[in-house]
Amino acid sequence: MQVWNDYMSENKDRFLEELLELLRIPSISADSKYKGDVAKCAEAVKESLLKAGCDSAEICPTAGHPIVYGEKMVDPALPTVLVYGHYDVQPPDPLELWDSGPFDPVIKDGNIYARGSADDKGQVFMHVKALEVMAKTGTLACNVKMMIEGEEEVGSDNLGIFLEQNVDKLKADIVLVSDTSMISMEHPSLETGLRGLSYVEVEVTGPNRDLHSGVYGGAVGNPINILCQMIASMHDENNHITIPGFYDKVKVLSDDERKAINEKPFDLDEYKKDLDVNDVRGEDGYTTTERTGIRPTLDVNGIWGGYTGEGAKTVLPSKAYAKISMRLVPDQSSHEITEMFTKHFESIAPASVKVKVTPHHGGEPVVTPTDSIAYQAAAKAVTQAFGKEPIPTRGGGSIPIVALFEKTLGLKTVLMGFGLDSDAIHSPNEKYGVENYFKGIETIPYFHKYFAEMSK
Ligand code: BES
Ligand code: MN
Ligand code: MN
């Protein structure tokens, strides 16, 4: 719409500058040293909501980091869109691999480099600015509720409680989330699923103290050797996961469904080249697209123990540790899988070691409908802004709260993300395209417009 384009082009520089301002705040939720910065970021988000035209905005304290909530109610007869996103970010480590400071955003080659630029401050801020565009031009087609949390990257436990305590306040017709990616600018797409997550930490204990690896080596179980064997045994020669019962609830897709999923444009050679690997590796019988979209996984995220300092210390360590994540697909349950893993891990431990499994956060897998008014409105909005119909794709990442929107609030979600897989989220040199940012701001008002029109 012309009024939107006019308002956007008059305010483009400011829209960008304000995002950079937000990116300068190191809102790292996992590290308690940054608690003050997380709070400062919440304050900045709240102020931005008021500035954008919310009638009210507040900071809702939790047992952890605060949730920012704001609303702009236009008319109770109009549909209400609940926008969800997160202002917290992942730790930037390893710092030495960044070309510029993670919290000193720079714009280079059309990209904004900073931690949180794509995940998720840049995408949250598109909604703040889109709200401003609609509010200031008097074109709001829906009521808007904004709920931006500070603990997504650490599992959203407190947001789960917040939902339960605020069912009325959060009443809406749809949840709209921009925290996922598209295939490319040439191939816009909408994610229609997220994987669930089960995350555990394991501790393997051998002898009661570190031992001389010459005096004792060969006679006492080495917990690191044993942990490695145990981890290796959890995949078979076909890269299937060997935990008994692991696949029992995995939904088997029909040939037609699998065919549709593989229609997404994907170039294996480019994929390998981008990652600088000679070959890919995954579960036999599935394509790369299927392996990341509709199949579960088990991956070691970190492993440590023994001596890792300079030089060589001959030691048979007392303990070994690993952090292990499992990505889940419908209809696996995070709780059940964690239990299965624990039982299995304990059962395969040889008598020479003791093992302990500690569960971390989890989340349930979701599939979002494509035959809903909300999905159709999003598809139409993307088509309007990109000049191309979006391709539905199954995403590999997880946003744990999305399953609870349905369970606690009875609300479906539309995943309208504008990131790219190449944005390096959670990695050094995270970036977000300036064009993606402005395309997002352009697309969102159309979603509100079409959702209102199609809801009539
Ligand atoms: N935005 C991501 C999830 C994502 C990324 C979905 C790309 C689809 C495409 C989110 O912030 C995230 O990183 N989630 C975590 C889970 C959380 C419990 C730490 C994840 O997927 O590892
Ligand atoms: Mn995110
Ligand atoms: Mn993330």
Per-residue pLDDT of the chain (456 residues; tens, 9 = 90+): 999 999 999 999 999 999 999 999 999 999 999 999 999 999 999 999 999 999 999 999 999 999 999 999 999 999 999 999 999 999 999 999 999 999 999 999 999 999 999 999 999 999 999 999 999 999 999 999 999 999 999 999 999 999 999 999 999 999 999 999 999 999 999 999 999 999 999 999 999 999 999 999 999 999 999 999 999 999 999 999 999 999 999 999 999 999 999 999 999 999 999 999 999 999 999 999 999 999 999 999 999 999 999 999 999 999 999 999 999 999 999 999 999 999 999 999 999 999 999 999 899 999 999 999 999 999 999 999 999 999 999 999 999 999 999 999 999 999 999 999 999 999 999 999 999 999 999 999 999 999 999 999
Pocket test for ligand 1, best of 179, 197, 289 (most atoms within 8 A of CB): 179
Q: Please work out whether the CB of residue 181 comes within 6 Å of at least one atom of ligand 1.
A: yes
Rounded CA separation 323/302 (Å): 5
**Architecture of the domain whose range is 196-250+296-363:** 2-Layer Sandwich (3.30)
**Cα angle 145-149-152, degrees, rounded to a multiple of 5:** 130
Q: Please work out whether the CB of residue 152 comes within 6 Å of at least one atom of ligand 1.
A: yes
What are the residue boundaries of the structural domains of the chain, listed by start? 2-194+365-454, 196-250+296-363
Residues with a catalytic annotation lie at 88, 152
Is residue 204 within 8 Å of 350, Cβ to Cβ? no
CA nearest ligand 1 atom 20, residue:
398
Pocket test for ligand 1, best of 27, 29, 149, 152 (most atoms within 8 A of CB): 152
Is residue 316 within 8 Å of 213, Cβ to Cβ? yes
For residue 23, what are its two tokens? Answer: 């990116």
Ligand nearest to the CA of 120: 2
Whats the size of the chain, residue-wise? 456
Of 46, 44, 38, 2, nearest in space to 20 by CA = 44
List Cβ neighbours of 75 (8 Å cut-off, separation of 6 or more).
143
What is the β-pairing status of strands 143-149 and 80-86? parallel
Q: Please work out whether the CB of residue 180 comes within 6 Å of at least one atom of ligand 1.
A: yes
Compute φ and ψ for 259, nearest 5 degrees.
-60, -45
Cis amide leading into 66 (omega within 30): no
CA nearest ligand 1 atom 1, residue:
179
What region, left, alpha or beta, does residue 32 occupy, with left being phi > 0 and alpha being psi -120 to 50 degrees?
Answer: alpha
CATH number of 2-194+365-454: 3.40.630.10
The DSSP call for residue 79 is: -
Of 368, 426, 434, nearest in space to 190 by CA = 368
The DSSP call for residue 145 is: E
Is residue 202 within 8 Å of 343, Cβ to Cβ? no
Tokens 């103290």 locate to 209
